[in-house]
Structure 1
């Protein structure tokens, strides 16, 4: 079981939720945990047993309770919690956005498949996602042109993101209070407050919370174009933000506070308040991306003369 990706991912998810609980607090039932983590009760039992073995929870006859808060060392490394497809995605994004890769360069699907240990078909399907948003352009002979993350690209992407997210909030607030997305929002809010209380040590955990909050909103749209779009931009932007880490703690703190304001507006079900706080947060995120692009100037250079687009 310890070598199982699903188990490790569920274990880490459970740890993140426990950070928002008080010491001695009772844990949710196996059924509730299985629903929250979207896994079987068998997996939940294995997670609970490992948490008890690590001294994080107690499993006494009187019930399950939190003994101590998780430490960074308690988590499995991120790469051990990824599916094969997600692992390829992670390696590709690190290679193209964190390496010395310039706008105008060509990618070859067959070479990428060999480099990342996967099939050419998998690579082509993955690259096609970025073709849809204009980051890549398909060329003959399995080649792809990387067009770069430029300020104009960021502006266009954020215009679409704002439109899609505002539409998704309308679906979200129509859901009943006891629906799974609202329960997930409760957990996300609690984790925001726990992270703020320990922001000096754990501020780099913010991207995971950011992705979860916006994803739970987008997915309630039940619109495959909105959901697919968010799959691409969440991956792209979280890697691009890493170009500039000079003020990472400060900007993550600001974003956490804006998230809490956004969540408060969602709870009010007041669409005008939701629109205002969503737009404010996305303006901040847009400015963060713009500053990050400045720290990766070689990625935003114009496509060299002689390279057609």
Structure 2
């Protein structure tokens, strides 16, 4: 497969990427759409005429965000729905309430490097939120995505996936010492593997799925990061939220990537294989088809209990 490149890069904004794109008649869901790059992703999609639903934990914040998007875009088809990704009941309820086709699903919400926290099932919270919640949401919405014809799933991963493969023998740190960044890295690798497997399983339904690294953006996602770590990142090439949302918007809406599926992007281009850098490229294990299949099967089994 040849590498996919576009005219856009590190500094491109979501507005630049979506300029000239018409999404009238398309329906989109953006998880975590009330904060960080989720807001700008939703704003860009709405600016192109899509109906956008912000799937959020805090519906009051979601309503404020929706009002702001409506005001800035003139598109009044921006809605809010409750979603707690770490709660299987909430995920299932969202999917069951959805009616009609869904053209774009942006799995954007996440938690990063938090202290050890477990769900009521005993699942490690970052893996449960970042991967299992989005996996359950996507599979629950599969029929709506298939009904749309040409639907796109976008999974927001991270360069942190380079920190850890998925440890299928101990996903929830029951036998190994918990380390926040390893847990985060594992969940972000899972986001990529989900796209790899969804691309294969759902190709016949006309559904494409890709993953991406949005770049470094200063948002509430870093609330658990130590002051020492933040200081160490001072020289990092940070992006604005509008720049950080651009690759999500590219994969969600741009005709430049029509039919592209099962790949990992950064800075609006398909990523190269990871080299020595801990901040760029894609790990071979994150694209491994056998690992992707095993993770899908394990995820199905966990959510069926």
TM-score between the two structures when normalised by the length of structure 1: 0.29
Bigger relative CO (Cα 8 Å, ≥ 6 apart): 2
TM-score between the two structures when normalised by the length of structure 2: 0.29
Higher radius of gyration, 1 or 2: 1
